[in-house]
Each structure stands twice: as structure tokens, then as C-alpha cells.
Amino acid sequence: MNHRGRAGGSVRREAAATRNLEAPLPPARSRTEDLVHRLRQEILSGALAPGARLPTEQRLCERLGVSRTVVREAVAALRADGLVITRQGVGAFVSADAQHRPFRIDAENLTSIARILDLMELRASIETEAAALAAQRRKASHLRELAARLAAFDAALAHGDAAVQADFGFHCAIAEAAGNAFFVDVLHYLGKLVIPRQSIRVLAQTPAAQTAYLRGVQAEHRAIHDAIVARDAPAARAAMLSHLQRSQERYRHMAGASGRRPV
Amino acid sequence: MNHRGRAGGSVRREAAATRNLEAPLPPARSRTEDLVHRLRQEILSGALAPGARLPTEQRLCERLGVSRTVVREAVAALRADGLVITRQGVGAFVSADAQHRPFRIDAENLTSIARILDLMELRASIETEAAALAAQRRKASHLRELAARLAAFDAALAHGDAAVQADFGFHCAIAEAAGNAFFVDVLHYLGKLVIPRQSIRVLAQTPAAQTAYLRGVQAEHRAIHDAIVARDAPAARAAMLSHLQRSQERYRHMAGASGRRPV
DNA sequence: AACCATCATGTTATATGACAACAAGACAAG
DNA sequence: CTTGTCTTGTTGTCATATAACATGATGGTT
């Protein structure tokens, strides 16, 4: 028996080549990936209900004409995804919480300036509310943390990269003060996507322009900080919204100025 | 050689048993899971930088004293997670975007009413902004969709379960009208977590109470809808915020009324 | 009858060896 | 310098065997 039925893959690859000679990466799914895809679809579509038992490894081997290695690797992948759980000596079952897949934003979705602005918009919606909640709920410890983050930003004014980190730290401290762990989690997640791009934008400027830019950012930070200290939720919301809208504007400007290729 | 060095696992299990005889599930990691954990930590900690090449399967087998089966399953799991990518004949490499892990909220995190209210708060922050954006950007097609969803809700008033679905559909339509795909994605993700619980709450009531409750919801929906039609972003934001705050209030009330156990 | 130890069976977990598919460099021929 | 071939190393797949585990059946004991 041919150990690897690449016939299908080869056909796909050739077809792609005729359409575009520049084709850099023929996907050419492996058997394992194929099986993962099939099982995942069956689970997500509900054909395999939560709690249902998957066919045994032997049956899957027979039905699909693959080796146990392939089946086991596929199941391992699904288990890593949290879609199935296996019990030695019993079988493999569809996870009870298979329905709510993890939320994820791929880097491929962020190839255009418009998409990045969309992401910043999403972030803004969360942070404005976080600022308002922080104004209502902040404790003394949160205020100390906020002040410390502001000071850290001041200290980092001269170093563009460190300043971007400190900037994010200030925002995280606000999310912490909001007293809702979900806000912190989401912000961290989005931050990892946005920060690198922001950092590059900042560092592309001259040192003098960097400092001027960062001073402006810091002034907006202080406005947010003051509103939170004053327990003025609407003001905090407005200050954060204004801050992030200007941030979007700055990004739009810098992206437009330094060529069309977003990073 | 002993084919499965369960010594460590057994020790762990016994230790746990001495601490708590009720121990329901000794984790007892398998070798595969162990290796997945180790490699994942090395990647996330940065010890294995993005783009770096992993040791070959043979080397991993030798160093860790496990079979190739274990190594391959572990790598398959990491590949499913998007942390590594493998190229036949070349090797396995840490993915470039290994840093930003998918965002996920486990069901275990939602065991208390407070946590669920936190989640509703997060959802509110996103939806209020979505409503405001929808008011600014909605096209004619969006208005048609919104009207259709409202009508669907009216039609489902009698059937509690269908009404909850229609309710969510209306909210999704607003996110669509906001013209930012991320809002739709996040709402869908959060919806899968919130909807079932909301549904149970509604169905626990008497039919008459259900209808009264749903009529109140629908009135709030209309207020949001009208603000979006009028392109009045602040009004849309306020209407949505009010709607969701009342929703939180209702949940708090129902949760308090029907026993302490959240679902 | 109720209880408990033991066994048989089926399943997953792991180990091992082999071969196929592929990539990249070495190397010689043109 | 280019091109084709070979060698080597790596991942992908197959096949088989054994260990660990769960579950129900069996049969003996109380």
C-alpha cells in the first residue's frame, strides 16, 4: 500500500500553481490535519454531541484507512484544543464545553490598516467602560498603583520602547482598578496584538518627535487618572474615549505617512 | 524498561489521597501531557524564541527517555494550538505568533453569580459601543435586518426558548451594523457563554411572567432600534447601556430568588 | 441474597522498528 | 555558472507488540 496518498495533495498543488506561479505555500494537508479537520467539524456541527463517545481508534483506522499513529495524533490535537477528553481504558469523548471555542484573532486578520483600527476600536470600547468602573470602584491601593505607573511612564519618556511598555502598564492598572478580572484578561490579550505595532510606529520617529508625542500621551493619561481619583465616572469614560480616539488618529496619520504597508 | 513510568504519578496520587480522601480526579498527567506542558512553558517563557527550531524528535526521545509516539503526539498538540509549525524534512519551529495565545474563558471561571455578572459587564462595555457605532454607520440593509429581528422576537414572545435566541439575534444584528467584524466575533463568543444561563433563568418562570418579562425586553429593544434609525449615537449608547444594566439587575434578582446555585 | 475477589475483554497509552516523503547541501558534469 | 544527481537528515506514516486501565461477568464466600 502506498504509505502516503499524496495524490490528492499533488493535484491540489498543481492546480494552484497553474493559477498563480508565485504560490509560496501549498497547504497540502497531511493526513493527520485532514482527520483533525473532519473530527472538529463533526463536533462543532453537533453531529458528535457533547459527551458522545468517539469511535475507537481501531474503528477510525479501519473506516478512514489510516494508521493508528495518524488517529492518535489527531485525537491529541483535539484534546489540546479542549474539544475531546480521553480516558485510558474507556475511550475518547466529546468535551462538555466543546461548544464555546476559544476566542482568537489571527495575525492574518491584521494585514490592513483598517483591520487594526477595528481592533483599536474594540479595545476602546472595553477600556472606556473599564475607566468608568475604575472611577466607581477604585481602592486606595489602586490609586497608588496608578500613580506609580504614571511615574514609570515619566521615567521612560526618553526611551521609546520602554515608554510603550509603561503606557500599556498604565492601561492595565486601570483595568485592575475596575475590579473585573475579565477586563484585565481581554486587555492583556488585545495588548499583545496592538503593542508591537504601536511600538514600531513610535520608534520610527525622530527622538525629539518621540518625546513630544509621549508627552501628549502622558497629559491624556493624567486627565484619566484625575477623573478616577475624583470618582467621576463620566469624566473618566470621556477622558479614556478621547485618549484612545486620538491614539487611533495618530495611528492613522503615522500609517498614512510612512507608506502603505502596515506592520 | 518499564513501559510507563507511573512511579511519579502514583506518588502524586497517593499524596493527594492522604490530603483529601474525596479526591475525585487525580490529574496524573500522562507522558504526552507532561511533554506538552514542558514545551509550552519553554515557548511561552521565551526560552524557545519564535522562529527557533525545536530539537529533533530523536533528540527529544533521548533527552526525555520517551518514545517517538509521545514526542509526536506532544508536537501534534502544540501544532493544533498554533504554537509550533512543522515542515516535513526540515524540522519543527516555534510559530512567529506564538506569543498571543487565544483568549478563552473556561466554564470553571463561571461558577459564581459574581463572575457571571462580571462577564455581563464585559459584554455591556462592548455592546454599548457597538450600538453607538451602529447609529453612525448603519446602512439601509442593516435597518432592514434590525426590523426583521425585532419582528422575529415578537413572533417568539410566546416561546421562551426561541425568544432568548431571537433576543441574541437582535444584538448580533446591531454588532453587524457597527461595521466592525471584531465586535461580531466577540459577541458571538460571549453569547455562547451567557445565553444558556439566561435561557434557563427565563424558562424557570411561569408562562405569564415570561411574556411580561419579554415584553419589557422588547420595549428596550425598540428604544435602541429607534436611536440607531435616528443616527443618534449617544442615545443608542444610553439605550443599550440601560438595557443591559436592567438585564444584569434581572439576572441578579432571579439568581437571588431561585436558590444560590448558579447555572 | 449480598458481598467481594478474580478473571476476561476491550480500550487507550506507550514503545519500537521500519519505510516513504521531503528539504537542503554536496558534488560532479555540462 | 547552471543543472542534475546523490547523500544525509528530518518529519510523516505504517505496523506490531506490550503495559495500564476500566468495566462487566463469573464464581466463591459470608
- The amino acid present at B40, given as its one-letter code, is R
Nucleotide nearest to B59 (CA to C1'): D10
Task: Kindly give the residue spans of alpha helices, DSSP state H, lying in A66-112.
Answer: 68-81
Instruction: Search chain A and give the residue with CA nearest B128.
Output: A125
In this prediction, residues B230-234 reach a mean pLDDT of 95
The distance of Cα B191 from the centroid of its chain, to the nearest Å, equals 8
Residue B19 has pLDDT above 80, yes or no: no
The pLDDT, as a whole number, for residue B22 is: 46
- Chain A neighbours among B 56-75 (CB < 8 Å)? 69, 72-74
Q: Which of residues 128-147 of A touch B (CB under 8 A)?
A: 128-130, 133
**What architecture (CATH level 2) is domain A7-94?**
Orthogonal Bundle (1.10)
In the structure, how far is the CA atom of residue B201 from the C1' atom of nucleotide C25, in angstroms? 67
Q: What is the mean pLDDT of residues B3-11?
A: 38
Nearest DNA or RNA nucleotide to A87 (CA to C1'): C12
Asked if the C-beta of A79 comes within 8 angstroms of chain B's C-beta atoms, the answer is: yes
Q: What is the pLDDT of residue A163?
A: 84
What gap in Å lies between CA B213 and CA B224, rounded to an integer?
Answer: 17
Q: pLDDT confidence of B4, banded at 50, 70, 90? A: very low
pLDDT-derived band at B125 (thresholds 50, 70, 90) equals very high
Range from A5-9, B23-27, B102-106, B140-144 carrying the lowest mean pLDDT: A5-9
Would you tell me which CATH number, out of the four given (1.10.10.10, 1.10.1740.10, 1.10.443.10, 3.40.50.300), belongs to the domain B23-94? Answer: 1.10.10.10
Residue range(s) of every CATH 1.20.120.530 domain in chain A = 107-257
Residues in chain B: 263
B32 Cβ under 8 Å from any chain A Cβ: yes
Burial of A225 (0-12, 13-18, 19+ CB in 10 A): buried
CB contact under 8 A, B103 and A102: yes
d(CA A34, CA A6): 12
Q: Do A220 and A242 form a contact (C-beta atoms < 8 A)? A: yes
pLDDT value of residue B115: 85
Fold of B107-257: Four Helix Bundle (Hemerythrin (Met), subunit A) (1.20.120)
Per-residue tens of pLDDT for chain A, all 263 residues:
444 443 333 333 333 333 444 444 455 678 898 899 999 989 888 888 888 999 999 999 998 899 999 999 999 999 988 899 999 989 999 988 766 677 777 766 677 788 888 999 999 999 999 999 999 999 999 999 999 999 999 888 877 678 888 899 999 999 999 999 999 999 998 887 877 777 777 777 777 878 888 888 899 999 999 999 999 999 999 999 999 999 888 888 776 654 444 43
Closest CA to A248 of A160, A123, A125, A117: A117
Within chain A, all domains assigned CATH 1.10.10.10 are found at: 7-94
Q: Is the pLDDT of residue B205 over 90?
A: no
Q: Where in chain B is the domain with CATH 1.10.10.10?
A: 23-94
Query: Cβ separation of A182 and B119 shorter than 8 Å?
Result: yes
Residue nearest to nucleotide D15 (CA to C1'): A67
Q: What residue of B is the nearest CA neighbor of A104?
A: B102
In chain B, residues with a C-beta closer than 8 Å to the C-beta of A121 are 129, 133, 180, 182
Residue B187 near residue B171, CB atoms below 8 Å: yes
Stretch B24-42: mean pLDDT? 79
Among B144, B119, B228, which Cα is nearest to B178's? B228
Q: Is the CB of A13 under 7 A from strand C?
A: no
Q: Which residues of B touch A185 (CB under 8 A)?
A: 103, 105
Q: Can you give the distance from the CA of residue A87 to the C1' of nucleotide D25 in angstroms?
A: 22
Could you tell me if B114 lies within 8 Å of chain A, comparing CB atoms? no
Q: Is B143 exposed, middle or buried (0-12, 13-18, 19+ CB in 10 A)?
A: middle
Place of cell 506561479: A21
The yes-or-no verdict on residue B207 having pLDDT over 60 is: yes
Cβ-based contacts of A32 with chain B (< 8 Å): 76
Chain B nearest-CA residue for A33: B80
Say whether the CB atom of B45 is under 7 angstroms from strand D: no
From residues 142-201 of A, which are strand D contacts by CB within 7 A? none
Q: Please give the Cα distance from B174 to B146 (Å, whole number).
A: 7
d(C-alpha B36, C-alpha B30), whole Å: 10
| pLDDT category of residue B227 using cuts at 50, 70 and 90 | very high
pLDDT, tens digit, 9 for 90 and up, residues B140-187: 999 999 999 999 998 888 776 788 888 999 999 999 999 999 999 999
Are the beta carbons of B192 and A100 separated by less than 8 Å? yes
Angle B170-A107-B138 from CA coordinates, rounded to 5°: 30
pLDDT above 60 for B258: no
Residues 67-86 of A with CB under 7 A from strand D: 67-70, 73
Long-range contacts from A180-183, C-beta under 8 angstroms, 24+ separation: A180/A130, A180/A133, A180/B118, A180/B121, A180/B122, A181/B118, A182/B105, A182/B118, A182/B119, A182/B121, A182/B122, A183/A126, A183/A129, A183/A130, A183/A133, A183/B122, A183/B125
Subset of residues 185-224 in chain A with CB less than 7 angstroms from any atom in strand C = none
Among the ranges given (A16-30, A150-164, B43-57, B74-88), the one the predictor scored with the smallest mean pLDDT: A16-30
- Range of A196-210, B40-54, B249-263 with top mean pLDDT: B40-54
pLDDT value, residue A70: 93
